[in-house]
Amino acid sequence: MIVNWMSHLDAHVTAAVLGIVLLSLTPGLAAWLRARTAGGARIAGMPGVSDIPDWRYWLAGAVLLLLMARLALMALAPLADTTEARYGELARQTLVNGYWLMPHMDAQTPFFAKPPLSTWASAVSMGLFGVNEFAARLPALLASALTLWIAAAFAGLHGVRQRWLVVPVLAASPLFFISAGAVMTDAIQMTVVWAAHYCAWRALQAGERAHGLRWRLGFWAMVGLAALSKGLATWLLIAMPLVAYALLQRKLLPMLRQVFDPAGVALAAAIFLPWYLAAERSYPGFLNYFIVGEHFSRFLVPGWTGDRYGTAHRQPLGAIWLFWAGAVLPWLHVFVSQLAAMVRRPQGPKPAAGWPTMRPLARFLWCATLAPLLFFTFSRNIIWTYALTAVPPFAVLVAGWLENSAPATRRRAGYALAAYGAAALALAPFILHQVNANSERELMRAFERQAPAGAQLTYMTRPTFSSAFYSRGALVQGTPAVPVGSAGRMYVVMDNQELRRLSIPAGRVLFSGQRRSLVEMN
């Protein structure tokens, strides 16, 4: 009920309300931080104000601002075409029509492109909280919160005393921020890969094999979930950093023995194999399309034309590095400087920290950061989210850098991130406007307001995924027909170009969007 009410508020009013809430929370947050950190500097000549927040307060404020922006967009923004609306509609179809074995785009079209874990999560969430945008996006937020927790645990192992620093680092990373509140498969895949890496690292550090049993089982459980999250390619994202680290440490076979476990392999198979077998039995040809097409042809065949559900993405070689620059934009200078220091040859009596002097966990985190980026360097058929699994390990490295930086550097980082968070919250209304232009939600609302009960909505153009989601699958595609009891009125959606070609009077246009319009016809 609250989400539905908020979605009808003006975006600027909502931003103002969130700002007031933020201001009301800030004193309590500052008090909480003061109880755990050293006090700030005194402000001379300003009665009533006793402390200037140090860099940690600014970072905490930035996190709060970014959280406000993220929650506001989750609640208010429509599901935009094509990605979010497609996965939202898959989840709605699963919940409403019972397509729990194989997600469906509609009653005639099973969706073979991705396994169902993220769809199941969104469908369960909508079953609990209603069919709305916030419920569809909630699993991504929860998965991202789990990623933050694992990153903090890794930071503690990395020697970072203030483990919470991974929170502002990740929250300010644009790709993580977007994925944390979007209906996509990527957030859950990121969490599964990151959890697998954590379990593997703990298994490697357990010493005696018996002490690492629970971590090995945890690792293989994540391997099983990986096959259900985004397919077998997720196995590669798990394996590449581990193999790279083992090779660089010259301990490939010992490390593989530390991680391998027959009971763990059986556990992984028990998690994913029943679904794959049941899916192939009920939908013959699924395994061929999904394994061969989605896992090999998609990446090895430029401009692959076998995609049933979209179009292949042809990017220039090395495009993943441009995506990476955008993914970690506030921390890009740290990536460049730390990478340069790592590969620089040691010189002088006190050489800068590089690979030869780096601690084992730092090496592993660099392997987890660089391995997927190097792999996708040679693929043309990629999208911007493919850099996501590299963000959490890099965030741990940034947290360590931030904690050990000079005080002036930390202050500048705090000020910059607070301004960044404020900008994100201030830009939320603009983002809402842009997303609205790429969704059919407002068109559907206009139809619900102006059409009589039982009226039929006909699309004279191809419906989008958001059309199906917001119409609850009730639209009809084709030539409009006058339904019984409608007094001769028909409600039609057509492209704006067709609207101009037919010279339809403005009085019959009930809603005009960026690309399509809702028209009342006799």
End of a domain among 377, 410, 430? 430
d(CA 122, CA 77) in angstroms, rounded, equals 16
Q: Which structural domain, as residue segments, surrounds residue 387?
A: 70-344+353-430
Task: Identify residue 221 by its one-letter amino acid code.
Answer: A
pLDDT in tens, 223-274: 999 999 988 889 999 999 999 999 999 999 999 999 999 999 999 999 999 9
Same domain, 460 and 499: yes
- List pLDDT tens digits, range 313-360: 678 999 999 999 999 999 999 999 999 988 775 555 554 456 777 899
Beta strand 490-495 pairing with 509-512: unpaired
User: Which residues, other chains included, contact 111 with Cβ-Cβ below 8 Å and sequence gap of 6+?
Assistant: 90, 102, 103, 104, 105, 309
* Pair 381, 491 in one domain: no
514 within a domain of the structure (yes/no): yes
Bond prior to 82 in cis (omega within 30° of 0): yes
**Residue 135: inside a domain:** yes
Flag whether 200 is in a domain.
Answer: yes
d(C-alpha 295, C-alpha 3), whole Å: 38
| Listed residues 377, 395, 430: the one ending a domain | 430
Joined tokens for residue 170: 């990740």
Look at the chain and report how many structural domains it folds into.
2
- The continuous run of DSSP H or E covering 491 comes out as strand 490-495
Q: Are residues 418 and 444 in the same domain?
A: no
Same domain as 501, residue 380: no
On whether both 141 and 205 belong to a single domain, the answer is yes
Per-residue pLDDT 10s for the chain (522 aa) are 333 433 333 333 334 434 434 433 443 444 434 444 444 443 333 333 334 458 999 999 999 999 999 999 999 999 999 899 999 999 999 999 999 999 999 889 999 989 999 999 999 999 999 999 999 999 999 999 999 999 999 999 999 999 999 999 999 999 999 999 999 999 999 999 999 999 999 999 987 777 889 999 999 999 999 999 988 889 999 999 999 999 999 999 999 999 999 999 999 999 999 999 999 999 999 998 888 877 777 666 655 666 666 666 678 999 999 999 999 999 999 999 999 988 775 555 554 456 777 899 999 999 999 999 999 999 888 889 999 999 999 999 999 999 999 999 999 999 999 999 999 999 999 999 999 999 999 999 999 999 888 888 999 988 999 999 999 877 888 766 555 444 567 899 999 999 899 888 998 999 999 899 999 987
Domain boundary among 430, 462, 496: 430
Residue 424 sits in the same domain as residue 467: no
Return the closest-CA partner of residue 367 out of 337, 386, 346, 342.
342
Are 325 and 471 found together in one domain?
no
- Are 289 and 409 within one domain? yes
Edge-to-edge strands of the sheet including 476-477?
476-477, 457-459, 490-495, 516-521, 509-512
CA distance 331 to 341: 15
Q: Is residue 86 part of a domain?
A: yes
Residue 37 in domain = no
| pLDDT computed for residue 21 by the predictor | 40
pTM over 0.85: yes
485 plus 414 within the same structural domain: no
State pLDDT tens for residues 87-97.
999 999 999 99
**58 belongs to a structural domain:** no
| Residues 414 and 475 reside in one and the same domain | no
For residues 139 and 268, membership in a common domain is answered with yes
CA 306 to chain centre: 26
Tell me, yes or no, whether 233 and 328 share the same domain: yes
- Per the domain annotation, does 25 fall within a domain? no
